[in-house]
Chains A and B, each alone.
Chain A
Amino acid sequence: MDQPFVVGGMETPVGPVPRVSSVLTARDHWGAFKVRWGYGRMRYRVDPGLYALGNPGSNDPVLVTANYKLSFDALRASLPGRDAWILVVDTKGINVWCAAGKGSFGTDEVVFRIQACRLKEIVSHGTVVLPQLSAPGVAARHVKVRTGFRALFGPVDARDLPAYLDAGYKASEAMRRKRFPLRERVALIPVELVHSLKWAALVAAAFFVVGGMLTKGPFWAAAWQAALSPLTALLGGIAAGAVLTPVLLPWLPGRAFTTKGLFAGGIFAMALWPFLDPQVLRPVEAGSWISGLLSVSAFLAMNFTGASTYTSLSGVRREMRWAVPLEIALLAGFVGLWLWARWVSA
């Protein structure tokens, strides 16, 4: 693979190892920006293997990471001015936590990579530092038995690595917790937006065509008039479910994400209400509009469980038992009342 972030080579007892810098270039930042918007996420990879950060020797630490380039970049950027070995395992371009959950960042792969890179001939301390979030996939004691390398779990966040290393491979309580701060929640918004807007465009087109056919008058004018209400409902639902919900997550009432989404949708509907076209505010049309906005907001909020850092599978299944039927009912209200409004006016 062409890897422009490699800044040279380094001779080692087992041959040359690519060298990388802790300084991210404009190209790295542009790549990160693109994947944040959902472009080429599955192709944003680093070749698995060993890399030299700075000018490491046989006593410098070995830090293990996934071959998703966003993970790799976060790791090296957190270690300015330091020398370390970076061992990239093959997670098929998936981030550390996801890959550990699915097993591709697992004991077998870590063992294989330690052996394939002949790490024993490169470092003398016999220790590798794994990201804590790889623990769902990696059994540290099995790595020790199979390779002789002591596998330690470093901090959750790469940015705590300097403090961890300086403390002699010790992480504080705080470094061991995965939180979900505003900065991380906001970073997820673009990809949620891109994904939901793609679907919304298809649905809006359907409303447009059906609306044009069901309403009297020239097709385009009729279509536009009929689609105005569902279009604003869709966009409002997306703004509430994919933007407002992630931002306000800790402050929205309820524990279930669907509940949070319904509140966000309600807030948004009330805020938009004074600015609505009088045509949307007719009783049946308004019912469709509110149902539509709430169904989209609730559904997107429910789907945000997958992006969050603290929801369990058992919990999500329990939430979905009531949330999915509710969302289907709201969706039926959205489409049904809209059709009824066309019927009444026809």
Chain B
Amino acid sequence: MEEPFMIGRLVYLKDVVTLHLDAEKCVGCGFCTVVCPHGVFVRENGKTRLADRDACMECGACARNCPSNAISVQSGVGCAQAVLNTMIGRSGDGCCSLDSGCC
């Protein structure tokens, strides 16, 4: 549901992120619930599930710290300036090398 007047909770586009959790491989350690800055994961009854997939920003913290390789995500920085720089062939650090307060 679209919530244009939500306060305090900012969510980006729906059904777009590349995050996947393989329930077979998950050992339920819950480390992803610790590192995720957006509360995407919830641990229940010794297993972890995706509770809020659309809140994912593909930072990759969960996959990096998953001990059983149960999480896959094409991580990257959600920065239009960086995408434009790549498109016009300007290499580099994307927006962070410019003076935007980003990432």
Residues of A within 8 A of B (CB): 36, 38, 41-42, 94-95, 97-98, 100-102, 132-133, 135-141, 153, 156, 171, 173, 176-181, 187-188, 191-192, 194-195, 249-257, 302-303, 305-320, 324
Among residues of A, the one whose C-beta sits closest to the C-beta of B103 is A98
Interchain CB contact under 8 A, B12 and A195: no
When chains A and B are docked, how far (Å) is the Cα of A42 from the Cα of B95?
A: 12
When chains A and B are docked, how far (Å) is the Cα of A173 from the Cα of B95?
A: 30
Q: Which residues of A contact B95 (CB under 8 A)?
A: 303, 306-307
Contact with A along B88-103 (1 / 0, CB 8 A): 0000011111111111
Q: Which residues of B contact A191 (CB under 8 A)?
A: 99-101
Query: Can you report 7 A-B residue pairs in the complex whose CB atoms are below 8 A from each other?
Result: A98-B96, A132-B34, A132-B61, A176-B34, A181-B8, A252-B4, A310-B11
The smallest C-beta distance from A180 to any residue of chain B, in angstroms, reads 6
Q: Which residues of A contact B36 (CB under 8 A)?
A: 176
When chains A and B are docked, how far (Å) is the Cα of A307 from the Cα of B37?
A: 16
Interchain CB contact under 8 A, A310 and B12: yes
Interchain CB contact under 8 A, B83 and A320: yes
Q: Contact residue range for chain B?
A: 35 or more
Interchain CB contact under 8 A, B80 and A42: no
Among residues of B, the one whose C-beta sits closest to the C-beta of A141 is B67
Which B residues from 54 to 80 make CB contacts under 8 A with A?
55-61, 64-65, 67, 74-80
Q: Which residues of A contact B94 (CB under 8 A)?
A: 306
When chains A and B are docked, how far (Å) is the Cα of A118 from the Cα of B76?
A: 33
Which residue, of A188, A255, A305, A306, has the highest number of chain B Cβ atoms within 10 A? A306
Interchain CB contact under 8 A, A303 and B100: yes
Interchain CB contact under 8 A, B83 and A316: yes
Contact with A along B1-16 (1 / 0, CB 8 A): 0101111111111101
Interchain CB contact under 8 A, B12 and A306: no
When chains A and B are docked, how far (Å) is the Cα of A165 from the Cα of B61?
A: 22
Q: Assuming the A-B contacts A101-B59, A141-B67, A311-B78, are A195 and B11 also in contact, with contact meaning beta carbons closer than 8 angstroms in the complex?
A: no
When chains A and B are docked, how far (Å) is the Cα of A243 from the Cα of B98?
A: 18
Among residues of A, the one whose C-beta sits closest to the C-beta of B35 is A135
Flag whether B38 is at the interface (Cβ < 8 A).
yes
Flag whether B82 is at the interface (Cβ < 8 A).
yes
The smallest C-beta distance from B44 to any residue of chain A, in angstroms, reads 15
CB < 8 Å neighbour of B13 from A188, A250, A256: A256
Interchain CB contact under 8 A, B60 and A136: yes
Residues of B within 8 A of A (CB): 2, 4-14, 16-18, 31, 34-39, 55-61, 64-65, 67, 74-84, 93-103
The smallest C-beta distance from B30 to any residue of chain A, in angstroms, reads 12
When chains A and B are docked, how far (Å) is the Cα of A38 from the Cα of B99?
A: 6
Q: Which residues of B contact A318 (CB under 8 A)?
A: 13, 16
Interchain CB contact under 8 A, A250 and B7: yes
Q: Assuming the A-B contacts A98-B96, A98-B103, are A176 and B58 also in contact, with contact meaning beta carbons closer than 8 angstroms in the complex?
A: no
Q: Assuming the A-B contacts A156-B37, A250-B7, are A306 and B102 also in contact, with contact meaning beta carbons closer than 8 angstroms in the complex?
A: yes
When chains A and B are docked, how far (Å) is the Cα of A94 from the Cα of B8?
A: 27
Interchain CB contact under 8 A, B58 and A314: yes
Which residue, of A138, A310, A319, has the highest number of chain B Cβ atoms within 10 A? A310
Among residues of A, the one whose C-beta sits closest to the C-beta of B33 is A176
Q: Assuming the A-B contacts A42-B97, A132-B35, are A305 and B13 also in contact, with contact meaning beta carbons closer than 8 angstroms in the complex?
A: no
The smallest C-beta distance from B74 to any residue of chain A, in angstroms, reads 7
The smallest C-beta distance from B82 to any residue of chain A, in angstroms, reads 6
Q: Which residues of A contact B5 (CB under 8 A)?
A: 251
Among residues of A, the one whose C-beta sits closest to the C-beta of B29 is A141
Among residues of B, the one whose C-beta sits closest to the C-beta of A98 is B103
CB < 8 Å neighbour of B102 from A36, A98, A138, A252: A98
When chains A and B are docked, how far (Å) is the Cα of A194 from the Cα of B58?
A: 29
The smallest C-beta distance from A182 to any residue of chain B, in angstroms, reads 10
Q: Which residues of B contact A98 (CB under 8 A)?
A: 77, 96, 102-103
When chains A and B are docked, how far (Å) is the Cα of A235 from the Cα of B100?
A: 18
**18 more A-B contacts (CB under 8 A) besides A306-B82, A306-B94?**
A42-B97, A101-B75, A101-B77, A102-B77, A102-B96, A133-B37, A192-B100, A195-B99, A249-B10, A250-B6, A250-B7, A255-B2, A303-B81, A306-B102, A309-B37, A310-B38, A316-B83, A317-B83
